[in-house]
Amino acid sequence: MSGSVGDLPPGVTAADWISPEELQLAARNHGMPLEALRYPVTPVGLHYLLIHYDIPAVDAAGWRLVVDGSVRRPLTLTLEELQARPAVTRPVTMECAGNGRARLSPRAISQPWLLEAVGTAAWTGTPLWPLLEEAGVAADATEVVFVGLDRGVEGGVEQRYARSLPVAETRREEVLLAYGVNGQPLPPQHGFPLRLLVPGWYGMTSVKWLERITVVTEPFDGYQQVRAYRYRQVPDEAGVPVSRIVPRSLMLPPGIPDFSSRQRFLELGPCRLEGRAWSGWGPIVEVAVSVDGGGSWEAAELADPPAPHAWQAWSYAWHPDAPGTYELCSRATDASGRQQPTRPQWNLGGYADNDVQRVTVTVPPPAGG
- Positions that interact with ligand MTE (CB under 6 A): 47-52, 94, 96, 148, 150, 161, 190, 203-204, 206-209
Judged by beta carbon, residue 50 or residue 352, the one nearer ligand MTE is 50
Minimum separation from the CB atom of position 184 to ligand MTE (A): 13
The b-or-e profile of 330-342 (16+ CB within 10 A means b, else e) is bbbbbeeebbbee
Q: 255 exposed, middle or buried (CB, 10 Å; 0-12, 13-18, 19+)?
A: middle
Torsion angle of the four alpha carbons 331, 332, 338, 340, in this order, in degrees rounded to the nearest 10: -30
Judged by beta carbon, residue 69 or residue 98, the one nearer Mo ion is 98
Judged by beta carbon, residue 96 or residue 348, the one nearer Mo ion is 96
At residue 347, the 3 state secondary structure works out as coil
At residue 181, the 3 state secondary structure works out as strand
Beta pairing partners, 289: 298, 330
Minimum separation from the CB atom of position 367 to ligand MTE (A): 42
Q: How many residues does the chain have?
A: 369
Judged by beta carbon, residue 209 or residue 318, the one nearer ligand MTE is 209
Q: For Mo ion, which residue of 92, 94, 96, 228 counts as binding (CB under 5 A)?
A: 96
Residues of span 43-82 touching Mo ion by CB under 5 A: 50
Judged by beta carbon, residue 150 or residue 169, the one nearer ligand MTE is 150
* 245 touching Mo ion, by CB under 5 A: no
Residues of span 192-231 touching Mo ion by CB under 5 A: 203-204
The residue range among 88-96, 118-126, 179-187, 353-361 that interacts with Mo ion, by the rule CB under 5 A, is 88-96
Do residues 52 and 98 touch, judged by C-beta distance below 8 A?
no
Do residues 340 and 294 touch, judged by C-beta distance below 8 A?
no
Containing 361, the helix (H) or strand (E) segment is strand 357-363
Minimum separation from the CB atom of position 121 to ligand MTE (A): 8
Residues interacting with Mo ion, by CB under 5 A? 50, 96, 203-204
